[in-house]
Amino acid sequence: MNKTRIHYFILFLTTILLGILSRKISVIPLWIGDFLYSIMIYFLVRILFIRKKTIFIIISSLLLCYSIEFLQLYQGEGITALRKTLFGKYVLGQGFLWSDIIAYTFGIIFIFLIEKFTLKYNTHETRFRFK
């Protein structure tokens, strides 16, 4: 694991913590959790595909978020039982909402823009390419 992967892993874990906290504090709107979920997925895809171009990371993250959301339309016996577990509740969700799709989209766009305008790396190996 190189420095960049460690950096993204720490961001990944921090985002999970913030997402869980957002569900525990009642004054925080529910869409914030979905917004953070998409950011967490973005970091996960970054960890797995560290050398891929940003457009690949964005599209892959969106497709993964959308796929999980549309999977919520399927109500088979096995997956419904899995959704009743803590893992299933947080990873697979409970029910399909179009507002979740919007929150995922804005979350991915938000983290891409933050990454683009704030993260600077000096080494050739870890330099981001935004083309």
Both tokens of 77, joined, read 């016996």
Question: Residue 124 has what pLDDT?
Answer: 43
Domain boundaries, the chain: 3-118
Task: Confirm if 62 and 104 have CB atoms less than 8 A apart.
Answer: yes
User: Which residues, 6 or more positions from 84, have their beta carbon under 8 angstroms from its beta carbon?
Assistant: none
Task: Give the residue, 77 or 13, on which the prediction is more confident.
Answer: 13
Question: Residue 120 has what pLDDT?
Answer: 57
Q: What is the CA radius of gyration of the chain?
A: 16
Both tokens of 112, joined, read 């891409």
DSSP string across 39-95: HHHHHHHHHHTTTS-HHHHHHHHHHHHHHHHHHTT---HHHHHHHTSHHHHHHT-SS
pTM: 0.82
pLDDT at 126 over 50: no
Question: Residue 129 has what pLDDT?
Answer: 52
Question: What does the alpha-carbon distance between residue 23 and residue 56 come to, in Å, rounded to a whole number?
Answer: 30
Instruction: Render pLDDT for 63-113 as a digit per residue (tens, 0 to 9).
Output: 999 999 998 888 888 888 888 887 777 778 778 889 999 999 999 999 999
Instruction: Render pLDDT for 41-74 as a digit per residue (tens, 0 to 9).
Output: 999 999 999 999 999 999 999 999 999 999 888 8
